Amino acid sequence: MKHSQPSARWVWASLLMLAFMVVLTGEPRAEPKAEKTFAAVVTDAQGVDTEIRNLIFYWEEKVSETAFVPHELRHLPVKRGSTTNNIPFDKIKQVETKPAGSEGVTVLVTLANGRTGEFVLTIPGSFRGESDFGQAEVPAKSVGKVVIK
């Protein structure tokens, strides 16, 4: 019984088909990571504490007279001098506000490692999330303190 060798044409066609299938399907993609959620106790200017889950810093960008683009950040956009920083919530232990001056809301940020810095919010946003009583939103200018858990 004679065994036949595959022809070179068949081998090349098989390799070409395999390469084509790899190009079409591509590399296996990793599942997108779920964003980390944060919980905090937000104390407003009147001294009222609100526990907020899934904390975000929220603001709306006006793109026309009737259209707004919502922004949900998990960092605090601040500025000191001419330096702009986006301080991630996972590095923040506490944020305290100072009386607003002409330049906006001034915040004293204490990091989890104990370092502190005084900044001005670059955006007049609000702290938003879920409380036991539903959606909660505290405008940054009305915040006394935010303690991230």
CA neighbor of 97 nearest in space, from 138, 69, 149: 138
Name 110's bridge partners.
94, 116
8 Å CB contact between 91 and 75: no
- DSSP 8-state assignment for residue 65: S
Whole-model pTM over 0.85: no
What are the extents of the domains in the chain? 40-148
> Any bridge partners for residue 98, and if so which?
106
- The pLDDT tens digits for 136-149 are 999 999 999 999 99
* Mean of pLDDT values over 118-137: 95
Region 25-36: what's the mean pLDDT? Answer: 62
Confidence of residue 110 (pLDDT cuts 50, 70, 90): very high
Above 80 in pLDDT, residue 17?
Answer: no
| Residue 121 contacts residue 139 (beta carbons within 8 Å) | no
Any idea of the CA torsion for 140, 142, 144, 148, to the nearest 10 degrees? -40
pLDDT classification of 84: cutoffs 50, 70, 90: very high
Q: Given a cut of 70, is residue 22 above it in pLDDT?
A: no
